[in-house]
Structures are given as C-alpha cells and as structure tokens.
Amino acid sequence: MTAAIHIRRWFMAPVLFALMGVLLASGGAQGAEEVASAIRRYKEREASTGYYEEYEVLPRRQRPFVEIPGVKRGIFPYSPSAAQVRIRTRLADSHRGIKFYESRRCEACHVRETMDNHTVRANLTCRQCHGGEPIASIDHYYSPLNPIRRHAYVCSKCHEGASASFASYVVHEPVPGATETRTAFPTLYYAYWFMLLLLLGTLVFFIPHSVLTGLRELFGRKRKSE
Amino acid sequence: MMTPTTRIKRFGVIDRVFHLFLILTFLTQTATGFGRLYYTTAWGKRIGALFGGYESSLLVHKWVGIIMLIGFIVHTVFLLFKVDWRRPKASLFGPDSLIPTFRDFVHLGQRIRWFFGLGAAPRIGRWSYWEKFDYWAVYWGMPLLAITGLMLMYPIWTSRWAPGWILNVAALLHRAEAILAAAYIFIVHFFIGHLRPTSFPMNEAMFSGSVPLPEAKEEKPGWVEQMQQQGRLELAAANPPSTMYRVIYFLFGYAALGIGVYLLINGILYSGHIRLH
C-alpha cells in the first residue's frame, strides 16, 4: 500500500514542477510588461487613476469580495433588464431636453439628494462633485463621477487616499426600509430592519415589564402595611 | 449574628469601579453623539457647543470611545480570570454566573403570572433575568459600537479590506445601536434603579456595594438561600456605607440621572429631525 502511494507521489513531482514553471513564466511575462512601460510604478497610478498610460482601464488588483456598484464584471456584463440602460445615466448632458432647465434649481427635482450628510453636514454643493454644466450622467464615459475614476477625481478631493472601493460608499443613500432598497442595497435594508425590530422589540417588552414591576411592588407594599 | 440591620455584600470594589467607568464614558458618548446626531436642530447645536462644536465633539467622542474600548477589553480579561477553569461548567452555568439559563425563562413566566396576582413570585437567585439582560445588552452593544466606530474613524483603511458601501451599513448600525442603548438605559435601567417602589429614591447597591439582608431576602430569596446552604451568609456581612459617602453617591447618581433624562426627553422631542441611518 505505502509503496503504491510513494510511486504515485513520485510521478506527481514533475507535474507539479511543470505547473509551477507555467505559473512562474506567466508572472515573468507580466513583470516584463511592467518594466517596459514608460511610466514607473504604473500599477499604483493605474489603481488610483483608472489610467494605464493614456488608456482608460478598470482598476486593477481588485480585492476579492470588494465589488464596485455600477461597474459590471464577468463574461457578459450587460443585462437586458438593467434599469440604468433605460434611465439617463450614460448621457454627456444628463439634463438634455428638460424644459426650462436653466431657470430651475437642483433641489426642485432632486429632493432626497439634497438631504444626505454630504450636503447637510459637510455643506457640499451639487456641482462640487457632479461638475459644471453640462452635467454628465454619472455613467457617461467622461464623467468625473464614472465609477472607474470617481475615487480619484471626486472623493480624493477631501478623502485623501480614496480608492475605488472607498468610492462605492453610497452618498445618496436610498430609504433603508423601502422595498426597492431590498434589491438596490440589501445589506442596508436588512441591517435597518434588524436594528429597528431589535429596538422596538426591546422597548415593547421591557417598558411594560418595568411598569408592571412597579405596579405590583406598589400593591404588594400597600397590602403589607395594612 | 444575623439581625434585620445586617447588610450583605453584593458588589465588590472592581464591579463598582467598572460601573462608575461605564456611567462616565456612556454619558459622555451619549452627549457628544447626540450633539452630532441632532446637529441640524437648535438643541443639538447647544449640546455640541458644550464640547466645543461639531468637530471637537467628534474628537471627544473618538477618544472616549477608545477609552471605553480599552475598558471593555480589561473587563473581558477580568471575566476570564473570574471563571473557575477547573470546573468550567459549574462556574459558567452555576448560580453565581451571569450566563442565562433555562431557569431564567421559567422565572420570567412565573414573574408575569405574579404581576397579575396569578401565582407566587419566582425565587430569584443572585442575578435576576432582567439584570442578566442588562449586562449582556451592554456587552454585545459595546463591541458593535466599537467595531462600527473604528470603521467610521478609519474609512480609507476600512475600504481596503471591505467594499466602501459597508460604511453606509456601519453608520446605520452605529446610530441605531446608540439610540437603542440610550433608550434602554434612560428608560428601563433608570426605572429599575430609581423609580420602582423597592428602589425609590435610588438603589444604592451598586455604589455602597451591599444590601440590607431583609431586602435581599425579599428580592433575591434564591441567593440568600444558596449562601445559607453553603454557609457563606455570615462571611458576606458588610458594613453600612458612611453618611458622607452616601451623600456623595446620591448627588452623583442624581446628576447622572438628570443628564440621562434631559438627553432622553430632548431626544424624543427632536426625534422628528433625525433618521435611524
């Protein structure tokens, strides 16, 4: 028995060596490409700006489980039902064709968007992130808010060292308890309902429990002193 | 000799220091946190101004949070030393442990019947089920607040190992848990400690460290019985607190109560201006 296992292991050795060789060779090829670049240490630059030399690329060296909302990945990154295709999210001028646009204020239409912490507490104006006229759709190729460069062009103006992952913080938070949020931002939805039910459950149990304790002790005392 | 004026020891010096530490840090965190949470209201601005404004109240909040976290770690180490590791099962699930057992659920059922005069009061041991809930509510709330707080304190670092949108969730959890903790302490814990007839005007056990024997017999008959059986009752006899110490802790306790109730009432009055997230 043991001899057979030994033989099998002996046969495995060259296979493993070959595998390691392939892996090392491919790594070396990537390394050679790096060195050939005119831009030194381009990996860091690429990761932070979304550019490889003059070409635009997706941020590289993504960490597993760190996904970026708005950036679709995979073999077929399109979906026929994806809402963002149908809404104005890929226009150079997102407000194109809106009547009397020049005389309107942002908050006249974007009501909820002016009530988040960045607007209310940090006192940011819309244009400080979305840019001047014409305001591009956030998924337009040249928009500063396009998820491929949002972190470098917008977030890092204040948050030094912001990464693509950091830029996936949802500035305009959806209503956490709404049904739409269950599909748009499920973690927030479930965290909200869990905490709300925990809060209500604790108080709904312990407030009557305390009141009844107080009442029963009061009545018990009276009976004793009588 | 056991007379009606005899007092028995309930909390050691270390327990009382931990409780005092928690009062001071918790009230500071609530005041600085509420000042920021309600910053869009006039009341929130006033509270924030006490700590030097919106930015410096955050600085106080962060430092006191770190002190609280260190206290939590020290307390956990202290707990691990309290457990008798030669007999872990008896020590962890015994009558002197704060770990909830099946008996606590039985006591809860008996107590609900007793509320309506449908049965005898449960013979509660050293720690009642509501005291255990009090303890574990803080014990699970503190790491939740600490972890989400650290995430919000170092957002760039957090987004290196987790997606950035986790900060949305962390902010929601931090806020909601803080509101839950403040509501529970300022309503339920204060009612049990000050307002119910057997405690009114103040339950002194957590400050004096001892309780009168008749009170213990009525409140925690199981505990007194257990000590009698083990022959420890005589050993647990304690001296009454001095008058000066009583005056000091009454003043302190009422100051803490006043601050808590003030934050609670204004928090409820202005609750229309805040959101859970």
pLDDT value for A12: 75
Q: Compute the distance between CA of residue B153 and CA of residue B84 in angstroms, rounded to an integer.
A: 38
As a dihedral over the C-alpha atoms of residue A42, residue A43, residue A48, residue A54, rounded to 10 degrees, the angle is 40
Task: Determine which of A75-84, A125-134, B51-60, B247-256 has the lowest per-residue pLDDT on average.
Answer: A75-84
Q: Do B130 and A168 touch (CB under 8 A)?
A: no
pLDDT for residue A6: 59
Mean per-residue pLDDT of chain B: 93
Q: Does the distance separating the beta carbons of A185 and B195 come in below 8 Å?
A: no
The residue among B91, B277, B184, B111 whose CA lies nearest residue A216 is B111
CB-nearest to B196 from A187, A196, A213 is A213
| pLDDT value of position B275 | 81
Confidence of residue A32 (pLDDT cuts 50, 70, 90): very low
Task: Determine the pLDDT at residue A88.
Answer: 59
A184-203: pLDDT as tens digits: 888 999 999 999 999 999 99
Lowest mean pLDDT among A14-18, A19-23, B62-66, B245-249: A19-23
Would you place residue A133 in the very low, low, confident or very high pLDDT band (cuts 50, 70, 90)?
Answer: confident
Q: Residues 161..180 of A with a Cβ closer than 8 Å to B: which?
A: 161-163, 165-170, 173, 176
Q: What is the model's pTM? A: 0.81
Most confident stretch, A100-109, A157-166, B26-35, B211-220: B26-35
- Give residue A131's pLDDT: 86
B34 confidence band (pLDDT: 50, 70, 90)? very high
pLDDT at residue B271, rounded to an integer: 92
Distance CA B4, CA B74 (A): 38
Q: Which residues contact A116 (CB under 8 A, 6 or more apart)?
A: A171, A172, A173
Can you tell me the mean pLDDT for B224-236? 89
Cβ–Cβ under 8 Å, residues A71 and A148: yes
| Residues of B in Cβ contact (< 8 Å) with A66 | 159, 161-163
pLDDT above 50 for A169? yes
Q: Which residue has the tokens 């057979």?
A: A4
Q: Is A68 within 8 Å of chain B by CB? A: yes
Give B33→chain A minimum CA distance, Å: 14
- For the stretch A138-156, pLDDT in tens is 878 888 888 888 999 999 9
Tens digits of per-residue pLDDT, B75-90?
999 999 999 899 988 8
Q: For residue B122, what are its two tokens?
A: 């449960």
Cα gap B62→B29, rounded to integer Å: 9
The reply to whether residue B192 touches residue A210, judged by beta carbons under 8 angstroms, is yes
Write down the pLDDT at residue A4. 54
